Structure 1
């Protein structure tokens, strides 16, 4: 805006200054002074002719000449005043216009508000740093994070040799979803401290969020380097597994998921989803059941207005009554179809694929609790399962629990 305003004012100034010469060049006006002089000379010649012809007396010639000369002088003086007045108004109009354009350009280009924000950010740097970094204050607003990032960027401009500062700035930008700026800050931190694990991981996370093939390839390189430094780093291992999966690098993805599974505790809820990823990459399909649930006509009138449909599978030939897979959903019209699979497991290592003899139960309950209660409606079926099998079955809810 500033440069546009400056250019506009320069053009206007050139036009205002050069207008008289441009007018003389393209518009050739009649010279009023020369016309008046010519008319006066013509009238004097006519007076002399009239004297010679005897139309007027000689003594009146002198008086008439004086009157013509006086009239000529008065007209020329009036024209000069008109020209002078017109020029003055043109200059005043041009000056006013230039001032208005200058004021408008300055008002929109001065960025005084941004300057005030920058000054306030610098003054609050220490306090914001304490709240954001030390205390991790959850009440910090987005505006305060932006102000902190601005002040930190200013400090790093004055003292750029600070890898910790660039890392912190990158994380601030990432929290503000400014991924390009975050990556730039991480790269500067990494150039000063190439082996810092926090920078390698943070930069990889930002690159994975970008999601392009180029950024994923760069993230894969960084995470591979980090794994060589810290083989038991679960965060980097999980991110490497995700990155390799997105790039289609099946051997690296399978290796990374398997290593991550071995590092996690057996009871960790992530075990089931990781095993599912491993099975998908290995070409092993999990067990799934497509179940059509219906109700007998005798019990249809007993359906509650508000209730839940609970469908689960558990072991048939053991004392383990905990469901291996369960689905709960608000009750709708029956019959309906649902799919029960390993993804519905409640424990990492206990799912449909781990069952050989299963009991599949469909129950209508007043709440979402799997435990049975009197008055609930239920149907069940027993069947044999094989790992990776996909079966279609039907269950009819045909009894009321006591």
Structure 2
């Protein structure tokens, strides 16, 4: 898209260069047969027209863009080049949704003569998956697996497509592909997630919990994937007759650059509250403010109200405060800080403490 914009900008600049300068130039030659009097311009003499020049300079590019948005296909600018090349014709303004199947088939035909076009085969496999043609996607991934036998991601994608084509069943070849992927990369997220699903289908709930717990450490804690993974872990534990896993928040508290160290023996409060709720902490712990940085943990044993759980709150704000007076009420001069909102179970949280201003509530 950037190349397209640059070309359009250059063309607009060239057009303006031809039109605008004459409007800003005063010509002294009168038109044929023109006459004039002192202090007035001869009839027919061309004057400067700065307003018209400004109007063209600003309006011409804007008008061109507006016309293109109406009659052109700006969505084509972000489409994969492989698909565009597969369907392009000299009179096209760009493909429509109805063109996609033909484009994919055109790409497939071209790739039959380009077995080493790795990016093209990736594109074909992903396109088939997006079209729910999982058997065809599996064949494309099989070709990629032959070309890239040590690519754990390709093997995981192959297993996923093959399993989906088999009505979601991962036993057999999909499971063998999953284990191959994990042997190459034990932290391949899709392979770990599929391994958990395969174990769960075999009623091996402990192994499913192990695999899915490993996934949680590798993905954003507040993502939908993490939420569904935690739900899977909870179900696997329930199938084992185990209580739901306790959400533990952990991390490090340190001083912000330039912040003086607190005096020994001051009180440190660490708390967690709902990001989209009242300011009252859900859980808190009080410690002595020893040498910083220091590590902390918060879990359901630190809850301030019975009957609730940290895992019940989708987003949590974790903060800390060092009180010179020892009071739980914030005071000017306290050292305090908060981390960005996180999901329950997040580790490696970093909180930086700096002096509290008198204007802060």
Q: Structure 2 length as normaliser, TM-score?
A: 0.40
Q: Structure 1 length as normaliser, TM-score?
A: 0.36
Give the structure with higher Rg (CA). Answer: 1
